[in-house]
Amino acid sequence: MATPSTVPETEPRQGVRAQGRSPGELLARYGAPLGLILLCIFLTWRSEFFLTPENIANIGRQSAIIAILSLGQLAVILTAGIDLSVGALMALCVTALATLAIKLGVNAYVAILACLVLGLLLGVTNGLLLTKLHLPHPFISTLGMMNVARGLALILTGGFPISNFPDPAVTYIGSQEIAGVPVAFILVVALYLLGHFVLTQTTVGRQIYAVGGNPEAARLSGINVSRTLILVYAVSGLMAGVGALVLAGRVNSGPPNAGLGIELDTISAVIIGGASFFGGRGTAGGTMIGVLFIAVLRNGFNLLNVPGEYQTLLIGIIIVVAVYVDVLRRRSSS
Amino acid sequence: MKRNKPIVALLILFSMILTACGAEATPTAAPTTAPVEAPTATTAPAAEAPTATTPPAAEAPTATTATTGGDTTPTAGTTGGSQPPYDIPVIVKTDTSTYWKIVGEGAIEAGKADKDANVTFLGADSEQNIDGQIRLVEDQITKKVDVLVIAPSNSDQLKPTFDKAKAAGIPVILIDTDADWPDKTAFIGTDNEAGGKLAGEYYAKNLKSGDKVAIIRGTLGDTTHNARQKGAEDAMKAAGLNIVAIQPADSDRAKGQSVMENILTANPDLKAVFATNDEMALGASNAAKQANKQIMIIGFDANPDALTSVKAGELTGSVAQFPKNIGKLGVENALKVARGETIEKRIDTGTELVTKDNLGKFMTTP
């Protein structure tokens, strides 16, 4: 589908500007990785358990679902959009998966495929609502979808989780390890490498950045804007399906209230990872750092038993700082 | 023409999803799903609910006139057929969730057991739709019902509406969720603090002073989870147990699992955990299993998954509350009030710790 580009122009826009090296630019590029490193140093100092293989594996496990959903969210935010429905889509996919595999006894691989296809179709629907029904903003279309999907997940299950998958094939990704490394995290790394490749090396990737940077210019230069938008929401929906599969393995269940509020975590991760809320800027690597930042923070909170009230407060402050860094960069580059 | 395509696509998609929903009705023979099926079965009474609801609603005007006539002779001792029926609407937070359907089931059964009762079961479309609940209550006040039985979605925001009921001379009985409103006739519901205490006391009995324990709780600031946490915390402290962590996991299974993994990393010698709902307890149980640790875990709600887990010897226990009792006692006491009898201001519908020893009482597996 994507034709590899011959021009070795990595990270469109960003690569060109990097020569400017304004303080805002530097902060936007290196702020999040630096923050993550400092956080890790702090936690290593404060908790003897932080830098242990078990704990690192824990962080990998705990961040997998948010990482997968955030990759879809990144594609959407790159087009200056937003997908509020990712958590609800994941819940609908996981309850559909559980209904098929547990209640109806459908073959595990068929159920997994259905889960992924359902996510993809729901994502396509998000894209169609936005581009064909001309709803004013993705905030509206995905807000609607969020409620529809959550409602359907609750109806499908009668409000109770459906638990205990009979076939270990369903729970493999979410629960198993290969040489001490959670399979879910291996999947995350593979997906992010693929995401990085598509965004930086293919025409499709370039079109996504172009649509987010300036939709009018993108349209005039012959890019099919509607098709690109439908594509990013489809990707986000598909990622919700993949996330559902990981979740199913992790909790061995299909809970209808899964992923409540997780859309906000994914948006936070993408923004902390240096993507611009105005579209056209952001990388898969940056998003991964944003995801790890949140996961390490939550892990550290638990290790040090920081009261919940302060956790909420701190995450809020970090989001504001991350967005302010983006504002600084925009100001200094203009 | 061009515009029709996406709409057709949407229709196809939704019909697919709806077909998936319909599939839910298909019965299964798998024994593991049996307990899960049990609550689903409450859809049956719920489906009946509208049927039970419709006649009183349709009769409402007639009933109202009859009651107004009856008002001239308050607290009539005889409860003969000449007595007009008492209109008792039971308004819960939402009529769409299993929990509230069970509450409604108790209310409707209690209504059927007393021929003077005209019970209607109502709820907003979601627990967050406070406005919707206020409108439901206002409509019932306009209908001049005899007693209001309400589970307030938000204790503060419903107070002005309670005042309206009072002004109209309609007694208000609160169920499930209490409100700081001095004119309520009674509050009938689970004593969550007492429930938390049951879990704390179990650990106090089975552990020794200084042992490490932790609490995983639901949404910060939620009064129900606050009460459960406090009950357990007080009992654990009184027994000299060492509470090494109190962390939130928003009543979510996956979050409960992550929090438990982290607590276990920092406290490898942890002995026990109390989670303020079953979802988090089940997540914690997964984490303990993966870490190959034997840890006592008690949840709250005694939901079918938790009971299955207790049976399998994974969860230590779960604090059961009795939602059906909440509906039943709500209606029974409303009838007493309608007849002019006095009732107690605080009626506890009970909590009980379910462990392997008394599991049979709670599990309805064949």
Task: Report which secondary-structure segment, H or E, holds B279.
Answer: helix B278-290
Four-residue CA torsion sign, A276, A278, A281, A284: positive
Order across the sheet with B117-124: list the strands: B117-124, B86-94, B148-150, B172-175, B186-189, B346-348
**pLDDT value of residue B4:** 56
For B179-215, write each residue's pLDDT tens digit.
889 999 999 999 999 999 999 999 999 999 999 999 9
Token pair 């979410």 is at which residue? A174
Q: Which residues of chain B have pLDDT under 70?
A: 1-84, 364-366
In A, minimum Cα distance to B31 occurs at A103
Rounded Cα gap, residues B193 and B234, in angstroms: 10
For A128-164, write each residue's pLDDT tens digit.
999 999 888 999 999 999 999 999 998 898 877 898 8
**Beta bridge pairs of residue B186:** B173
Cβ-Cβ contacts under 8 Å between A and B: the total is 149
Rounded Cα gap, residues A55 and A182, in angstroms: 12
For A220-269, write each residue's pLDDT tens digit.
999 999 999 999 999 999 999 999 999 999 999 998 889 988 999 999 99
Is residue A294 scored above 80 in pLDDT?
yes
Is residue A112 scored above 80 in pLDDT?
yes
- Residue B355: phi, psi to the nearest 5? -125, -175
Question: How far away is chain B from the Cα of A14, in angstroms, using its nearest Cα?
Answer: 36
CA angle B120-B35-A116, nearest 5°?
100
Mutate to test the interface with A, among B36, B246, B308 (most CBs of A within 10 A): B36
Q: Which of A104, A158, A250 is facing B40, going by the closest CB pair?
A: A158
Question: How far away is chain A from the Cα of B212, in angstroms, using its nearest Cα?
Answer: 13
**Inter-chain residue contact B20 with A99, CB threshold 8 Å:** yes
Question: DSSP letters of A23-80?
Answer: HHHHHHHHHHHHHHHHHHHHHHHH-TTTTSHHHHHHHHHHHHHHHHHHHHHHHHHHTT
For A74-95, write each residue's pLDDT tens digit.
999 999 999 999 999 999 999 9
Residue A177 corresponds to which amino acid? E
For A184-216, write each residue's pLDDT tens digit.
999 999 999 999 999 999 999 999 999 998 889
Question: How far away is chain B from the Cα of A161, in angstroms, using its nearest Cα?
Answer: 8
Q: Quick one: pLDDT band at residue A59, thresholds 50, 70, 90?
A: very high
Q: Which of B3, B253, B265 is facing A54, going by the closest CB pair?
A: B265
* Residues from chain A contacting residue B253 (CB–CB below 8 Å): 161, 251, 253, 255, 258
**pLDDT value of residue B17:** 54
In A, minimum Cα distance to B98 occurs at A159
pTM of the model: 0.74
Question: How far away is chain A from the Cα of B17, in angstroms, using its nearest Cα?
Answer: 8
Number of neighbouring beta carbons within 10 Å of residue A7: 7
Rounded Cα gap, residues B266 and B259, in angstroms: 11
Q: Name every residue whose Cβ is closer than 8 Å to that of residue A290 and which is 6 or more positions away in sequence.
A: A32, A70, A268, A269, A270, A271, A272, A273, A274, A322
Mutate to test the interface with B, among A126, A133, A163, A297 (most CBs of B within 10 A): A163
**Inter-chain residue contact A158 with B265, CB threshold 8 Å:** no
Q: Which of B28, B279, B283 is facing A103, going by the closest CB pair?
A: B28
ipTM: 0.80
Distances in Å between the alpha carbon of A75 and those of A68, A116, A197, B328? 12, 18, 13, 52
**pLDDT value of residue B21:** 46
**pLDDT value of residue B129:** 81
